[in-house]
Chain A
Amino acid sequence: MTVLEVDGLFKEFPIRSGLLQRETGRVRAVQDVSFSIGRGETLALVGESGCGKTTVARCILRALPPTAGAIRFSPEPGRTIDMAPLSRRALRPLRRHIQMIFQDPYASLNPRMMVGDIIAEPMLVNAVPAAQRQVRVRELLDLVGLPAAARTRFPHAFSGGQRQRIGIARALALDPTLVVADEPVSALDVSVQAQIINLLLDLQDRLRLSMLFVAHDLGVVRHVSDRVAVMYVGRIVETAPTAALYTRPRHPYTEALLAAVPKPDPALRDQASAPAGEIADPANPPRGCAFHPRCPYAESRCRTELPMLQEIAPAHWSACHRTAELSLRGVA
C-alpha cells in the first residue's frame, strides 16, 4: 500500500538581482521528480550538496510550496490527498501524520524546555489530554532507549546521541504515517551513529514506519533503506532496491559515487577514483544529461538529449542513454 506518491515534482527558485530585484534567472532545484513510498518502507534519497534532495523533503513537508507536481499522501488507508495545492489551513490537520527527524540534535531541541515537554509538544498542539500525554512520554522514552528520569531534565544534560533519541521520540509522539529524516546521523560520532542506525532499524521493524531518509553517506544508506533514489542536479538519475543499486549500478553517476567513497580497507588503496570536474550549477545546468561533462561514457547524444528514466531491470530505473550497453562497477 502506498503512503506517499510524488508525481512530477518541480521546484524553482527565482534569482533576483539589481536595484529593483528583478528576476534574472531561475534555479531549477527539483525537476520532474517522481517516486513512491509504501507502508513500512524506507526510501533513501541520496546525492551530493545542491542535488535537490533536501528541497524535495521540504516540499513534502510543505515547508516549501512546490512549483508544479502532485504530492499524494495517504494519512490512513483508503484516504489519499494531494497536498501540493493545499493552503496552510487545509494542511494543518495533515501535519500530525508527517513528522521530521532533524540533522542537528543540538539546534533542533529547545534548550529551555524539559525533555518531557519537548516530546509532549506535538501532542499538546494536537490537543491530546494531559494524562494521556504523560503515559505516552514514558512509552516513547522507553522506545528510544532513554531512562524515564530524562523527562525532567534539560537537553544540555544529554550527549549528541541521546539528543537525537529525544528528537526521534518527539517525531514518533503522534504515531505518524510518514517520517522524513534529513541526515539524521551525519552529525554524530561513528560509535554513536551506529547506535542510532540500530535504533532506526528497530523502530522500522516494530512500528512498520514509512520513511524518507535523506542522506549523503552511502554506507549508512545501505544499512537503513529498502530502496534508493540517486539525485543529480535536481533530477532522479537512478532508483532501485538497495542491494541492486550497490552491486549493479546502472547509471554512471551512481558508479562514480560508489567509487569515490573511501573504503575502510587498506588493501583497496589507490582504487578510489573521483569523477573529473565539479557538480554542475543548478542555475545553469548542462544541456542534455547534466552529468555528461563528468561522465567517462558520454557520447554525442548525451550532450543534447535529456535521458528519461527507463526500467532496465525489475524495479530498477536509470536515466542514462547508454544504460543497457554499459557494464558498470558496483561494490561486490
Chain B
Amino acid sequence: MQPTPMVEPLSAARHVLSVRDLVVDFVQDTGAVRALDGVSLDLHAGRVLGVVGESGCGKSVTARAILRLIDRPGRIAAGRVLLDPGSPEQQDLAALDPESRAMRAVRGGRIGLIFQEPMTALSVHYTVGNQIIEAVRAHSDLSKAAARERVVTLLHEVGIPRPETRIDAYPFQLSGGLRQRVGIALALAADPEILIADEPTTALDVTTQAQILALLRRLQRTKGVALMLITHDMGVIAQMADDVAVMYLGRIVEFAPVARLFTAPRHPYTRALLRSVPNLRAVPRERLATIGGAVPHPGARPVGCPFHPRCPEVIAGLCESQAPPVVPPDQAGASCFHATAEASA
C-alpha cells in the first residue's frame, strides 16, 4: 500500500504553517526531559487538523511551542516553525525572540489561541469588552469607537445574546459556556488565519460542548481559517477534524484523513485507543479493550519505538532497539514497522 496524501494535490488548500522536526526539552537538575521528539506537521487554510493523544503526549507543548509560549526550563532545542512556508514572506517562528515585536504580531494576530479554560486568557479586572477592544487595537489601527463596534459584531458572531450590553460584563458575570464564547471572540479579534484550540470544550458540559463545537465549525468554515484542534476525545476528533495527527510520547505516531483513521487505523496505539473509548451502544456491563500499563514518564522514554512496552504487536528484536521511521507530514501513514512493511509490500 502506498502512502496516500492527506490533502488532494488538486485542492487549493494552501500551507499556512509548517512545523519541521520540532524538539522541545525541559531542562531539569536530573537532565533534560524531551517533551517533543521531532514533530512535523502542516496546517492548511480552510482545514481542521485534529491532534489527539493522552496526557503527556506533547499535544499542548506543540501548540505552545508554535506560539513561543514555552516557559523556562522548557526550550526549543531544534526544528523550525515556518509561517507562510515557501513564500517570500516565510518566517521561522522558532528563531524569533518570544518577546519580540514580530512574535507578538503573530501571537494573537496571525494566530489566534483558544484555551481550555477561558479565564487563562481573560483578566478578572476588566470587562470582556475592554479586553477584546484592546486585542483588536493591538493588531489594527482602528479607533476606540470603531474597535468597540467590531467587538459587538464579534460577540454577536460567537452567539452571545444581547452583545451591546454583555460587552460591559465582567467575565465572572458570565456562565462557562458564554465565557468560552468570549474566549473565542478574543482569539478572533485580529482576524487570524490560523486558530489553535487547546481542549476548548473539555471543561464544559456536554450540551454546552455541542454548542461550542458547532460554533467553532461554523466560524472555521465561513472564515476559511486553518484550525489546529487539540483534544483527548476521539468523539470530538470524529465530529470536527479533516485530518488527524495521533501523538504518543512526544511524537506523531499516525497521520490520517479522519474517515480513514476510524475505519482503517494503522498504528497499534491508534487501534487500541479507539477500542478503549466507552460506547453509547454498549451492552450492559460490557468490558472495554485496554492498553496494558500506563504512558511512561517522558523522562523514562523507552529505547526504540516509544510504544513498544505496551504494544500487543511488538516485533521482537526490532521495536525494542530501533525507532520506526517518522511519518512525513501531508501523508497518511503510521510510524510503525508493521505499517512500513505494508507500504513496501
Contacts and interface: CB of A to CB of B under 8 A. Distances in A.
* Co-assembled chains A and B: yes
Interface of A: 48-49, 159-162, 189-195, 197-198, 201, 204-205, 216-220, 222-224, 226, 242-243, 246, 256-269, 272-275, 278-279, 331-332
B287 A279 contact: no
A262 B207 contact: no
A318 to B, nearest CB: 19
A246 B280 contact: yes
A167 B257 CA distance: 40
* Chain A interface helix/strand/loop/mixed: helix
Given A189-B55, A266-B238, A269-B239, 5 more contacts: A193-B278, A243-B283, A263-B235, A266-B262, A274-B210
Nearest to B283: A243
Given A189-B295, A217-B278, A272-B239, A197 B206 contact: no
The 9 closest A-B pairs by CB, nearest first: A219-B278, A262-B235, A274-B210, A48-B205, A194-B276, A260-B210, A194-B288, A189-B54, A191-B291
Given A223-B286, A260-B207, A266-B262, A190 B214 contact: no
B contact residues, range: 35 or more
Contacts of A198: 287-288, 290
Contact of A279 (B54, B205, B284): B205
A191 B273 contact: yes
A272 B210 contact: yes
B290 A191 contact: yes
Given A159-B294, A274-B214, A257 B207 contact: yes
A147 to B, nearest CB: 13
B323 interface: no
Contact of A264 (B176, B207, B277): B277
A274 to B, nearest CB: 3
B37 interface: no
Contact of A223 (B205, B233, B272, B285): B285
A202 to B, nearest CB: 9
Contacts of B176: 49
B281 interface: yes
Nearest to A273: B210
Contacts of B286: 223
A326 B304 CA distance: 58
A265 B238 contact: yes
Interface string B159-184: 00000000000000001111000000
B69 interface: no
A159 B294 CA distance: 7
B130 to A, nearest CB: 24
Chain B CB within 10 Å — which of A205, A219, A274 has the most?
Answer: A274
B148 to A, nearest CB: 26
Interface string B42-61: 00000000000011000000
Contacts of A220: 278
A307 to B, nearest CB: 20
